[in-house]
A and B are shown apart, each in its own frame.
Chain A
Amino acid sequence: MVLSSDDLSAVWLTLQLASLTTVVLLVLATPMAWWLARTTSPWRTPINAIVALPLVLPPTVLGFYLLVALGPNGPGGQLTQWLGWGSLPFTFGGLLLGSLIYSLPFAVQPLQYAFENMGTRPMEVAATLRARPIDAFFSVALPLARPGFVTAAILTFAHTVGEFGVVMMLGGNIPGQTRVVSTQIYGHVEAMEYAQAHWLAGGMLVFSFVVLLAAGRLQRRNMRIGL
């Protein structure tokens, strides 16, 4: 076996983190994206900017603020302690929270674009066919936005897998708890273990390529069957 048990546990943790982040974010991002696509509120522009912030902010900056906020003396930390969740930094929970914020734009923006692109017409058509708004949302808007969901899921998953700066700041690189593939590679390189670093890095490269290939194929098929 070319991968050590430490490597495998990092891979497993990465997959858990990315999957959980993707599922939670899609659930949270859908109503956000819908609101952003439809609203005429003056809050739309500032909230759009806040959602996009992780795109431009250095991950270390994001990680730093999260560390401070979630620390025992930060407002977030006091809240989590009051809720009985303990202190989140250096735990998987903290890592998940960081990933949710870090990958937020990758979930929201494709969905927002899909909803905007759809226009108001499908919902109006559904309304003239006796569908209440909530019914129309689930039976018309969500299925029509399917390509947006595929893109959002792939981007969120892949982006979370590639996360490094936030993990380093917030996670602390604890084996089995917060050590993911990207930090494991970093550790190998620090320790001059280039062979192990190659196996993990090469694996990431292949994985990323396959994901993008699959995404492209899925999108093409969606277009062909008119979705």
Chain B
Amino acid sequence: MNDIQIRLGLARQDFALDVNLTLPAQGITVLYGASGSGKTTVLRCVAGLEKAPSARVQIGDSVWQDHASGVFLPPWRRPLGYVFQESSLFDHLNVHDNLRFGVRRDSKGLNPASLDEAIALLGLGDLLQRRTHQLSGGERQRVAIARALALQPRLLLLDEPLASLDHARRQDILPWLERLRDEIKIPMLYVTHAADEVARLAHMLVVMENGKATAAGPVAEVLAGIDSPVILGDDVGALLEGTVQERDLRWHLAKVDFLGGALWLRDSGVPVGQKVRLRVLARDVSLASAEPSHTSIQNILPCVVDSIVPDHHPSQVLVRLHCGESIFLARITARAADTLALAPGQTVWAQVKSVALVA
């Protein structure tokens, strides 16, 4: 059994935390929620920086904390890496000594090349002799990530690592995080309230609200749930993983295949064969009961209605659609649903007006 189990119960005057999560021991699990929802507290409890009175934290077969048997490993004995929200570099040490801080204290069982690998993975080779105040915000976070990675942790915890950076710096560092996700085998727990980070990085998504996990699962499944729709950014919508299949250089379009069909979107120069993530917002999908013709819409997909639920406003409904193995959401008016006599199991054509490439 390789899973990560996190069970936490914590009650304070104005806040209660109650989560029970079982997560795969690979990939990035994003904890997503508004500030005050308890996502950072989850991370701090997993690290042992805060002691939840009723808790069980188990990584694979090693138990870090279990109130039932009285086990509580202090943070320095948990094989984890932690990247804090703001710069956490030690200002009295240069970059290289910051990177070596943890490795020096935990050299046994550590691959001696791990520090060099972390330095290479985050492109820090030229910065090693710098003082910390000579680094940009993005560089500081890269050093902090490498410092945690060099310890070859069983679990890497990242607490809004991009929140202290401006937009341009965020765009600088996101590709490094994607590289991390794709190249290392260490599972990551990643806290954020930024929609684009969820869309770009998450394998698993845990939605936090008032100290509780209101939804958890593979990111595409969670985002396609409509019983309690997850608003990511400004709207609900589906997230698809696909591969660039061809590029139409004449019309500047690219075709992306996904499980269940293909979508055309604006060619942004992504090479053929590359894996990409697409986001289709519910408001950009309309439905037709017969195959539309004479339309400007380029993406028309045959789908089967899965379920229909009321939306926020009584004039609208959300429709969940199966397109092969993928799921789309469509927001249409209740009157249209009635006119088309939409019902689960019915075949419809989804017209996709806009597709966004997220990564």
Contacts and interface: CB of A to CB of B under 8 A. Distances in A.
Task: Check if A and B associate.
Answer: yes
A129 B84 contact: no
B91 A132 contact: no
Contacts of A139: 101
A130 B133 contact: no
Interface in B238-277: none
A148 to B, nearest CB: 13
A226 B84 contact: no
A129 B131 contact: no
Interface string B45-89: 001110000000000000000000000001111001110100010
B88 A132 contact: no
A201 interface: no
Contact of A128 (B80, B90, B91, B133): B80
Nearest to B104: A130
B105 A125 contact: no
A130 B49 CA distance: 13
B92 A129 contact: no
Given A129-B101, A129-B102, A130-B106, A122 B90 contact: yes
B151 A124 contact: no
A55 interface: no
A23 to B, nearest CB: 22
A128 B81 contact: yes
B91 A227 contact: yes
Contacts of A130: 76-77, 102, 105-106, 151
Contacts of A174: none
Contacts of B49: 124, 127-128
Contacts of B132: 226
B91 A226 contact: yes
Of residues A128, A132, A146, which shows the largest number of chain B Cβ atoms within 10 Å of its Cβ? A128
Contact of A129 (B77, B91, B105): B105
B75 A128 contact: yes
B147 interface: yes
Contacts of A129: 76, 101-102, 105, 147-148, 151
B76 A226 contact: no
Contacts of A150: none
Interface in A123-144: 124-132, 135, 139-140, 143-144
Contacts of B82: 125, 128
A225 interface: yes
A144 B151 contact: no
A225 B131 CA distance: 8
Interface in A88-144: 121-122, 124-132, 135, 139-140, 143-144
A131 B76 contact: yes
A143 B75 CA distance: 22
Contacts of B84: 121, 124-125
Interface in A200-227: 225-227
Of residues A121, A125, A131, A135, which shows the largest number of chain B Cβ atoms within 10 Å of its Cβ? A125
Contacts of A121: 84, 88
Given A225-B131, A226-B133, A128 B92 contact: no
Given A121-B84, A135-B105, A226-B133, A127 B92 contact: no
Interface in B122-136: 131-133
A226 B102 CA distance: 21
Nearest to B50: A124
Given A124-B49, A225-B131, A132 B92 contact: no
A128 B47 contact: yes
A156 B151 CA distance: 42
22 contacts: A122-B90, A124-B84, A125-B84, A125-B90, A127-B48, A127-B74, A127-B75, A127-B76, A128-B49, A128-B76, A128-B80, A128-B102, A130-B76, A131-B76, A131-B105, A132-B76, A143-B90, A225-B131, A226-B91, A226-B132, A226-B133, A227-B92
Interface of A: 121-122, 124-132, 135, 139-140, 143-144, 146, 225-227
Interface of B: 47-49, 74-77, 80-82, 84, 88, 90-92, 101-102, 105-106, 131-133, 147-148, 151
The 10 A-B pairs of least Cβ separation, nearest first, read A129-B102, A128-B82, A226-B133, A127-B75, A130-B105, A143-B92, A130-B106, A125-B88, A226-B91, A127-B76
